[in-house]
Structure 1
Amino acid sequence: MMHLTEDQLYHLAELSCDAEELKTEEEQQFDHVKSCRECFNQYCVLATILDATSLNCDLVFDPVQIPESTVAPVRKLLVALRVTCERVYNTISLIGEQIPQNMATFAFEPVLATAVRGSSSSKTSILRMEDLDDEDTYFVYDAENRKLMVQFDANGRDAANFKAYLKFADQTTIDIPLLKGGLYLKGTLLDVPSGNFDIFIEEN
């Protein structure tokens, strides 16, 4: 291919600035620019001028449209709780606290930090935390039976609008399946791995 004209190079620079999809001929022209130093230098001059006069320009050689489906949804954090599990001999001690978040919607506090029942040889520790303004919005963790339950006021919205999950120290996560029940969403998780974890509830 011969050198591109100034008009062709200017057109390519415009396509780059506007992040538009390329036609076959324009793709071939860009391939030439990449391999031809003279055209490359002229293209860079024109693209720099356009970039300096544009409010939203990025210098790229392969402009493409990013499908909306590939953009990660932004979620609003409703609450973040931390559960610390301590075991001394056969006794489990649970500590629950809310991780400070400026945008948190719910304000949880432990109702009964550790509830112990059963014989001295077999004790069960249960942590229950409730929202200060709504006792029907709560989080319960049974450490010995490795069962977790959560319920929160979703204002009647569907479960698809929310995400609840556990996050562990090694950054692994486990989703909590949610089901709608009136204005509330409920979630139960069995076989929760032993140890410490954080629980997050987010809204799409």
Structure 2
Amino acid sequence: MTIVPRPWLSGDDDFDDDDSFESAHLPSPGPFLDGHAVLTGPDHAAFHRLTRTRFEARSVYDVTFGYNLARLNLDARHPDAGYRYAVDADDPSVLRAEFTPTTEFCPQSDTLATASFRAWNADDVGPPHEFSLVRVRVAPMHEASDRINGRLADLEASFQEAGPVAETDRGGAAGGPTTPL
């Protein structure tokens, strides 16, 4: 029984294959990725598969669409939304991730970007990746991107001082950050 009806959901025909890279179904890389090595093709698809697993472990879900946020990249109905990734030009151990929400007023953008940061930078969830840090920003098309990105920069600085985000930090029980997720 469906508790919350979601008439905007559709079947698998509206989604790209998990192993595909369909640039026409992804947002264009934004300013946070300018001048850095943007992942495309198999490199983008491989990191995105890992992302799906880590987001599942940390319950990074878009409640509007009712799915793991990583699935947004595969949703052909939203070709200008999702994540794009780039290896930092100055430090190849750092990956940059820019989230473009479906609308400029998406109320979940702060929570989703924060949860994404925590999932990627946790050392206790999902398969490891080769990056020492995944930096996250929200695309400037979002009306609150400056505020959100300021918070993400603060979270990033805390991470660099304190280290990986532990599972116990999810509720602030370990004395860590108390931001949602």
TM-score (norm 2): 0.28
Q: Which TM-score applies when normalising by structure 1?
A: 0.26
- Higher Cα radius of gyration: 1
Q: Which has the higher helix share?
A: 2
